[in-house]
């Protein structure tokens, strides 16, 4: 009996079986949809209008649950500042429209030029594997979080706080929509933290949209005002809504956007730790 022949025969049968299977049921529609988009629209249209639609649709969809929480009695058990109600929501919405279409939209005009200059591919065949994409997103989070910590902390300096960052802190009890409620200068300053990692990691156009999706999920989550258990809490050093809610309530400390390690290293989580200890004693 030839064991090598038996092994090769088994591998051949297994390979033929796998090749006979239909494509992954999730991958197939995504591939068809992506290729349809490329066949139907030009790259400039996808880069500009596609990016605008992705951002606006995701922002609304991710904000919607937190907006509805205020009307659901069951969800009030997760509300962090129990004594505060959502307020000035229409004012926040109007400011968001201004920020999205007057400040952020002009920045999207450079998306196609960027992808052309650095020869960033759009095709499905050149799209990186999902695990590479997730590694790139993680790298984006680490870089953005570092940028955000130091620039956010600088915006809290007494010499400039009242001129720029005070607008964002108009909401001491934040809600999801407040995530991008900010002075135009702050939108540009802290927004650079979103673009810098793209310059380093982007090997395919899809990263821009995937990074937008994950960044919006994170920043809206920490601004909801509700400490709801979810998968992001499994990520080491993830701050979450409770940590950032304290920043809005206290105005000092917890400057990071996503993680907690910079605040731990620099000691800017001291007041937050004292607050948690006091809450624990009360419980």
Round to whole Å and give the CA distance between 248 and 203: 36
Number of domains in the chain: 1
pLDDT tens, the chain, 283 aa long: 454 455 556 556 655 554 555 555 556 788 999 999 999 999 999 999 999 999 999 999 999 998 999 999 999 999 999 888 888 899 999 999 999 999 999 999 999 999 999 999 999 999 999 999 999 999 999 999 999 999 999 999 999 999 999 999 999 888 999 999 999 999 999 999 999 999 999 999 999 999 999 999 999 999 999 999 888 888 889 999 999 999 999 999 999 999 999 999 999 999 999 998 988 887 6
Please report whether residue 122 resides in a domain: yes
The answer to whether 182 and 167 have CB atoms below 8 angstroms apart is yes
Please report whether residue 258 resides in a domain: yes
Please report whether residue 145 resides in a domain: yes
**Burial tier of 190 (Cβ tally within 10 Å: 0-12, 13-18, 19+):** buried
Residue carrying the six token digits 């290729």: 35
Please report whether residue 128 resides in a domain: yes
Domain span at residue 140?
Answer: 33-282
Please report whether residue 3 resides in a domain: no
This prediction has a pTM of 0.87
């Amino acid at each position: 009996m030839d064991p090598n022949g038996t092994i090769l025969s088994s591998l051949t049968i297994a390979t033929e079986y796998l090749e006979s299977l239909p494509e992954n049921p999730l991958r197939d529609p995504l591939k068809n949809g992506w290729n349809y988009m490329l066949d139907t629209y030009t790259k400039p249209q996808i880069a500009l209008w596609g990016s605008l639609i992705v951002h606006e649709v995701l922002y609304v969809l991710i904000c919607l649950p937190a907006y509805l929480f205020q009307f659901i009695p069951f969800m009030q058990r997760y509300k962090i500042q129990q004594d505060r109600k959502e307020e000035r929501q229409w004012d926040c919405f109007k400011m968001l429209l201004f920020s999205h279409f007057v400040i952020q939209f002009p920045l999207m005009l450079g998306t196609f030029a960027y992808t052309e200059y650095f020869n960033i591919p759009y095709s499905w065949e050149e799209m990186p594997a999902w695990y590479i994409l997730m590694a790139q997103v993680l790298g984006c989070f680490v870089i953005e979080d570092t940028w955000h910590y130091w620039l956010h902390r600088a915006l809290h300096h007494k010499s400039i706080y009242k001129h720029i960052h005070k607008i964002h802190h108009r909401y001491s009890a934040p809600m999801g929509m407040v995530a991008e409620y900010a002075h135009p200068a702050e939108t540009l300053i802290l927004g650079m933290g979103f673009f810098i990692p793209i310059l380093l990691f982007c090997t395919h156009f899809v990263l821009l949209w995937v990074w937008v999706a994950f960044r919006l999920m994170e920043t809206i989550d920490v601004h909801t005002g509700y400490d709801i258990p979810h998968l992001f809490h499994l990520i080491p050093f993830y701050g979450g809504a409770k940590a950032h809610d304290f920043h809005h309530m206290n105005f000092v400390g917890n400057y990071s956007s996503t993680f907690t390690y910079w605040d731990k290293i620099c000691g800017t989580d001291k007041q937050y730790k004292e607050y948690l200890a006091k809450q624990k004693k009360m419980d």
